[in-house]
Structure 1
Amino acid sequence: MKPVFKFTILSAVFMCWAPSSAIALTGDGLINNPASSITGQVERHAERLVERAANRRVEHRSEALRKSLNALPDTLPVYTEAGQNAFNDVVLDDGFRAVERQWLVTGTAEDIDHLDRPGITVLERTALSGLGMIVARFRVRPDLDSLETLRELLPELADRLDRNHVYSPQADESGSSEVPEVRSGVSLCEEPVRIGMIDTSVATDHSAFGDAQIIEQRFLSIEDGRGELAHVTTHGTAVAGQLIGRHGSSGQARLPGAKLFNASVFYTRNESLSGATLAHLLQGLDWLATKEVSVINISLAGPDNRLLAEAVRNLKKRGALMVAAVGNEGPAASPLYPAAYSGVVGVTATSRAGELYRWANRGEQVMFSAHGVAVSVPHPEGGVKTESGTSLAAPVVTAALACEASSSNPQKALEALIDQAQDLGEPGRDSLFGFGFLPY
């Protein structure tokens, strides 16, 4: 059946695509032309059509999976590893999710003392020296659980508090695919770069990481010594595979000489979904800020948040480059964060042929595009699996940026990537592909 399928596609493409001036007919009606070059072009075009059809099948499977996974209940109990209820993960009026009735505020110690009010319980205070922030996490009575109410109650803190939002990874399992990633397995550079990653835990015993240097710290603890949230490994293992994982049995990693510092912040929501609270996310970013990493990969997305915005500003002041997935909520979705913050390199995903990932967010926050559709990544239980999403495109850009930053300053490193990007959309930077595609 395969030869017949290829002939059918070739015939249709030849009839619809080949220029008439290149074709001549003999008396018996057979095609007679020096068309070997045209035939080659037609075959390549047909192969692209086959790949596109396969990618569409992958995306249809992904769409079905997304619908089933995104059906979280409005109130989702989250448990510690010991099975104790830690908090409820709830949906908000704007569709985003947060820890039920929990808020964060940043300021001086004296500022935070203003939280001593009826109906407010301070759960913890944390000095984040790497970010230059003091953060308090507190719980409120149900009747105080709105920004408008807290602004009236705490006017001196109104611009420095926000919800303890929950953020999500940006990759979708695609199942098996006819078009898994094909790359040479050649490294981008061998310099001993230091890169940061904030994600799930990584299955460091996977064969892809046999020669890798991974330092991991978990940020999943709950107040009052009640233990830790149950951690997960799937997403972080895939993202780390894009950064420092060896490709196949003989191929090299993109960054074979790198030291990867991974802040594990994601907890289990259900069998297939994970989430990260803003409180844990800030702790992870603070830890990375102390490790002198040149680039931080952030393959997660969620709502705008005052404390997250301040953390990003402070990291930028320290000279850290931040690369973030723009999100997988679709072309009509609003910008997601931290990719949409100024100073963050937002990355979208394309297929190997340069076609935009169907579910990728679009907008001014897109700075680069990279391969993130039907990518073969390490599976925590061994072997590989195929996934798609902006989460998998971001580390490709992170790796390239880390190489450039190893011999220049952050601004020149960004300029180098802009020069290397292949323009796929409208001339110049656009809302789909940014400055263009980085083919690494």
Structure 2
Amino acid sequence: MRLFSLISALLAMVAAPLAAQIALPRVGVPDVGSVVDQIDDRLDRTTREIERETQRLANDRLRRIDRLVRRNRDAIEFDANGAPARKGELLVMDASQSALEIAGERGFTVLSRESVEGLDLQLVRLSVPEGMKLAEAQKQLEAIVPDAVVSADTLHFQAGGADAANLVLAADAPNSIGAPVGMIDGATGSSVKVAEQRGFAKGAPYPSNHGSAVASLLAYAGAGTIRVADVYGTDKAGGNALAMAKGLGWLVTRGSKVVTISLVGPRNPVLGRAIASAQRKGVVIVAAVGNDGPASPPSFPASYEGVVAVTAVDGKRRALIEAGRALHLDYAAPGADIYGRNAKGRRMRLRGTSFATPLVAARAAQAIGQGSDWRSALDREAEDLGKKGHDDVYGRGLVCGRCDGR
């Protein structure tokens, strides 16, 4: 959008001198070629600036992850794919008892057998052999149990930031009551009213600004009953795939028809299978594409098949330059120049795809609550931005375009 605005402004500069050439002497009037050269130069500079910013975002992501692992060596380490994960543990699905016994002989100890409620999902948690790095252990276990699905318990990160202001947000005013909505995030503060919260991490539920802001936007945009699965608490390795799968299962059993996830991470087979199971039960999953820029790897869970992937725009309806990417894109919604509540109930200025996502989820919940097809309802509301029709910047269009949380 910034490029389009720049082009329009520069073309206007060209038009004025050309019209004036009839009455004005040629002295001081630039010829068309020189003005076009100036436009090309400005566009080249703008393109280079965008490329630099894109690369900076990608580099910042790698630095943040590296810093996180280095500061929490007792709880987090890199898996075989270079993603941060819970230290010393692997998750295994579809392994036979004989295969697990062989793994046990090689030093992999069963920590627990997990059955995720509501999702028909079973798995085994294994500890890695003493003194072995997680990445190496993952490779070895994959060779020992080739017919099973092995993964690390990879971490996911919240996809937005906020600045608090000393003003209380006005009362929420939803247009209508929608279907029950579940939220996988941090817990909310007492000032943000939700029906129920449950923890799936050490110290959870524990109030967070991010979770509070997401919940306040859900209520503002017209979601029905809101339940929160806190997958962070005070756990250094919070936001892991197993916690998210368990949280999703609980939300499904509690009747959530839409689940919003403003978290991003790598592809994980446990979480992927949990999401697919929830979708088969008719639950709509809505997820953020993240804020690591277009050069970042595709974000999950937004990239899982059938998940409604959401990006964000600012108050001028320009795509956020830091918006990440997914393997597909469904909708855009306001994600900057908007407001929500923090854990203490104070007004917050928000920015990030985290905060666009609950707006789309609430709109889907409204449609379901009214007995409508949620996809058709969102498509009717969506305002086409950018290229005509579906595109890779705004998806199917802008939803909740007048929502700002004020």
Relative to the length of structure 2, the TM-score reads: 0.77
The answer to whether the aligner puts 1:436 opposite 2:403 as a matched pair is: no
The answer to whether the aligner puts 1:287 opposite 2:250 as a matched pair is: yes
Alpha carbons of structure 1 residues 322 and 73: separation in structure 2 relative to 1, 3 Å: closer
The answer to whether the aligner puts 1:423 opposite 2:398 as a matched pair is: no
The answer to whether the aligner puts 1:241 opposite 2:212 as a matched pair is: no
Map 1:68-217 onto structure 2 (within 5 A): 72-77=67-72, 87-92=74-79, 94-107=81-94, 110=97, 113-114=100-101, 115-141=103-129, 142=132, 145-157=136-148, 160-173=149-162, 186-191=173-178, 193-203=179-189, 205-206=190-191, 209=192, 212-217=193-198
Give how far 1:111 is off. Answer: 7.3
Structure 1 window deviating more from structure 2 (112-121 vs 259-268): it is 112-121
Give how far 1:229 is off. Answer: 6.5
Cα deviation, 1:288-312, whole Å, max 9, x if unaligned, reads 1101211000110100011111111
Equivalent pair of 1:200/1:265 in contact (CA under 8 Å): yes
Structure 1 window deviating more from structure 2 (389-398 vs 228-237): it is 228-237
Matching residue within 340, 343, 358 for 1:377: 340
Q: For the residues of structure 2 that align with 1:175 and 1:68, how far apart are their CA atoms?
A: 26
Equivalent pair of 2:242/2:271 in contact (CA under 8 Å): no
Q: Secondary structure at the match of 1:282?
A: helix
The answer to whether the aligner puts 1:261 opposite 2:247 as a matched pair is: no
Letter in 2 for 1:169: Q
Give how far 1:135 is off. Answer: 2.0
Give how far 1:261 is off. Answer: 0.9
Equivalent pair of 2:69/2:77 in contact (CA under 8 Å): yes
Q: Secondary structure at the match of 1:240?
A: helix
Give how far 1:110 is off. Answer: 4.2
Letter in 1 for 2:291: N
Alpha carbons of structure 1 residues 130 and 363: separation in structure 2 relative to 1, 3 Å: closer
Map 1:346-365 onto structure 2 (within 5 A): 346-365=309-328
Q: For the residues of structure 1 that align with 2:60 and 2:150, how far apart are their CA atoms?
A: 35
Gaps of 5+ in 1: 1-12, 25-55, 79-86, 222-227, 245-252
Q: For the residues of structure 2 that align with 1:69 and 1:162, how far apart are their CA atoms?
A: 22
Equivalent pair of 1:297/1:394 in contact (CA under 8 Å): yes
Q: For the residues of structure 1 that align with 2:174 and 2:15, how far apart are their CA atoms?
A: 41
1:49 corresponding residue in structure 2: none
Q: Secondary structure at the match of 1:276?
A: coil
Q: For the residues of structure 1 that align with 2:209 and 2:229, how far apart are their CA atoms?
A: 14
Map 1:392-411 onto structure 2 (within 5 A): 392-408=355-371
Give how far 1:75 is off. Answer: 3.4
Relative to the length of structure 1, the TM-score reads: 0.71
Equivalent pair of 2:185/2:232 in contact (CA under 8 Å): yes
Letter in 2 for 1:133: L
Map 1:314-393 onto structure 2 (within 5 A): 314-393=277-356
Gaps of 5+ in 2: 1-8, 21-49
Give how far 1:235 is off. Answer: 0.9
Name the % identity. 26
Give how far 1:364 is off. Answer: 4.2
Q: Secondary structure at the match of 1:370?
A: strand
Alpha carbons of structure 1 residues 156 and 93: separation in structure 2 relative to 1, 3 Å: closer
Equivalent pair of 2:90/2:138 in contact (CA under 8 Å): no
Equivalent pair of 1:321/1:344 in contact (CA under 8 Å): yes
Alpha carbons of structure 1 residues 402 and 111: separation in structure 2 relative to 1, 3 Å: farther
Give how far 1:356 is off. Answer: 0.7
Q: How many residues align?
A: 355
Q: Secondary structure at the match of 2:196?
A: strand
Letter in 1 for 2:141: L
Cα deviation, 1:103-149, whole Å, max 9, x if unaligned, reads 11223784784453331121111211311011221111216734432
Q: For the residues of structure 2 that align with 1:127 and 1:217, how far apart are their CA atoms?
A: 17
